[in-house]
Amino acid sequence: MMGVDAYIWSNLMTVLLIAGAVYAARVVRAQRLWREAAGELWRRRRFAIVVVGIYLGIGVADSIAWVGGVPEDAVGVLPNAPLSLIDRLFLDTREASYSAPLASVEFYGGKALRHPGSHLLGTDILGRDVLYMVFKGARVALLIGGLTSLIAIPLALLFGVSAGYFGGRIDDAVFFIISTLAAIPGLLLLIALIMVMGRGTVSVCIALAVTGWVGFCRLSRAETLKLRELDYIQAARALGVSEARIILRHILPNLAHLIVITFVLTFSGLVLSEATLSWLGIGVDGSWGQMIDGARDELSRSPIVWWNIGAAGAALFGLILAVNAVGDAIRDVLDPRTLRGSE
C-alpha cells in the first residue's frame, strides 16, 4: 500500500507514462521505417511482447490508487489508506500464517483458513497471499529497470556525445570521469551510494544509474567520433549550422537504434542488480529480491516452504527472459550491421 502523498505522484506519473506511450505509438505509426520495424518485431517475438505487456499491465494496475471503498472489517488494511487496483483485487485475503498453494488448512498446525482453496500460490509466514506479493513486485521491478534507465541513458548521452563531438578538454574530462568510475568496484560504490542517500526506491534507482551509465557513455562517444567525420556533418558545419542543431538533427537520430537497444538490454541487468542488493539487505521493500531474501530461512524448515521463493524466482525469470528476447529481436531489427549480415 502507498503513502497518502506518494499515491498522488504515482497516479500522475502513470498518466504521463501512458500519454508518452500513446504518443510514441503514434510516431511509430506515422513513420514508415519505424512502422515496418515494429511489424517485424511483432512477427519475431510475439509471445515475448505479450508477456512483457502483461507485466506492464500489472505494474500500471498497481500504480493507480485512490482512497475509499474499503469495508471497515477488512483485515490488514489501514483506515483511509490509498489502495491500488491490485490491493483491491486481493482485499481481505490475509491468513494467520503459512498455507500451501490451494490449501484449505494452515501448513503448520492444520487450522482451517479464512479463505480455503483461494490462494493460488499459498501464503507467507505473515499470512500474505504470495500471488499478491508477486504482483506488487512487478511494479517495483519495472520501476527499478525503467526509471534507472531513464536516468542513466540521458546522462550517458550528455557526456558521451559531448566528448565525442567537441573533443579536446571536454573529451579529456569525460574520459577521466568514466575511467575513475570504471576503476571503482561497482558493487562497493553502489552500496556506498545507497548508504549515503538512504534506502528507498528513488535512492536505489539513482545509485544504479550513477554506477551504470559508463558503458553506454563509451559507446555513444565512440559512435559520435565516427559520425562527426561524415561528409554531411562537415557540409552542415561549412554552411554555418549551429553545433546544437547538428547534434539534435544529425547525431542523436543516428544513435536512436543504440538508445533503444541499450534501454531494453540494460533493463534486465538493473532488475537483477536490485535482487542482489536485496540479498545483501539493502534492496527495495516489496521487490522480488526481498521475497527471495526472506525465503532463505524457509528452505531450512521441515517440511520445506518452497512456494514463496519459487513464485518470486519464476516471476523474475519470466520478466528477464521476455525482456531479453524482445531486446535481441530489437537488435536484429534496428541494427543495420545485423541486417547486412543476414542478407
What is the distance between the alpha carbons of residues 264 and 268, in angstroms, rounded to a whole number? 8
pLDDT at 332 over 80: no
For the chain, give the percent of residues with pLDDT over 70.
92
Does residue 109 surpass a pLDDT of 80? no
Backbone CA torsion sign across 120, 124, 126, 131? negative
Which region holds residue 173: left if phi is over 0, alpha if psi is between -120 and 50, else beta? Answer: alpha
The band of 201, judged by pLDDT with boundaries at 50, 70 and 90, is confident
Helix (H, G, I), strand (E, B) or coil at 133: helix
Of the pLDDT bands very low, low, confident and very high (cuts 50, 70, 90), residue 130 is very high
Q: Where are the alpha helices (DSSP H) in 198-255?
A: 201-212, 214-227, 231-238, 243-246, 252-254
Q: Where are the domains of the chain?
A: 6-128, 131-342
- Cell 502513470 -> residue: 14
Identity (one letter) of the amino acid at 210? V
- Helices 186-197 and 201-212, interaxial angle, to 10°? 150
Q: How would CATH label the architecture of 131-342? A: Orthogonal Bundle (1.10)
What is the pLDDT averaged over residues 45-56? 92
Average pLDDT of the chain to the nearest whole number = 84
Burial of 78 (0-12, 13-18, 19+ CB in 10 A): exposed
> How many Å apart are CA 136 and CA 130, to the nearest integer?
10
Of the segments 48-52, 74-78, 238-242, 246-250, which one has the largest average pLDDT value? 48-52
Per-residue pLDDT at 343: 43
Q: How does residue 340 score in pLDDT terms, banded at 50, 70 and 90?
A: very low
Query: How far apart (Å, rounded) are the C-alpha atoms in residues 149 and 17?
Result: 14
For residue 208, which of 151, 261, 142 has the smallest C-alpha distance? Answer: 151
- Rounded to whole angstroms, the Cα distance separating 29 from 120 reads 40
Average pLDDT rounded to a whole number, residues 68-72: 70
Burial category of 332 from C-beta neighbours within 10 Å (exposed 0-12, middle 13-18, buried 19 and up): middle
Which residue, 309, 318, 288, 269, is CA-closest to 53? 318
Per-residue pLDDT averaged across 58-84, rounded? 77
User: What pLDDT does residue 341 have?
Assistant: 44
Q: Which of 41, 35, 79, 263 is nearest to 157 (CA)?
A: 263
Q: What is the pLDDT of residue 57?
A: 92
pLDDT digits (tens, 9 = 90+) for 206-254: 888 888 888 899 999 999 998 888 888 888 888 888 888 888 888 888 8
Please tell me the total number of residues recorded for the chain in this structure. Answer: 343
Q: Among 76, 283, 84, which Cα is nearest to 194's?
A: 283
Model pTM score: 0.85
